[in-house]
Amino acid sequence: MRRILVPISLLAAMPAVAEPSLSVARLDCERVQSELRAFGAAILHFDTSGNRARRNYDRFVSDARFCDSRQSAVNTTIPTADRKDCPVKKCEAVY
């Protein structure tokens, strides 16, 4: 059996797995939370202040494992199709 050796420099150049990007305007809260549990982290696009012309986005996570070592997962909310305050978590710096 032959082994193929890949130089570390090539591994470092390989692209990272991209996180999904979801528009939550038509998703209910349970679906958004389910997607975060499934992927661990995602970029979520949502309306701000009920204004569909003004969109906002951020990275949200299922828990602190998906945050940088200098961050923790904090509770916040975003508007979804069925709720104006769907609970989610996002990473924020720890001071």
Residue pLDDT, tens place only, 36-49 = 999 999 999 988 76
State yes or no: pLDDT of 93 exceeds 80: yes
pTM for the whole structure:
0.75
Is 49 domain-assigned? yes
Is 70 domain-assigned? yes
State yes or no: pLDDT of 51 exceeds 80: no
State yes or no: pLDDT of 7 exceeds 70: no
State yes or no: pLDDT of 73 exceeds 70: yes
Total domains in the chain come to 1
Is 3 domain-assigned? no
The mean pLDDT of the chain is 83
Is 76 domain-assigned? yes
Is 5 domain-assigned? no
Is 73 domain-assigned? yes
State yes or no: pLDDT of 10 exceeds 50: no
Range of the domain at 50: 19-93
**Type and span of the H or E element at 77:** strand 71-78
Amino acid in position 72: S
Check the CA dihedral 21-26-29-31 and report its sign: negative
Is 6 domain-assigned? no
Residue 13: per-residue pLDDT: 42
Residue 28 to residue 8: CA distance in whole angstroms? 43
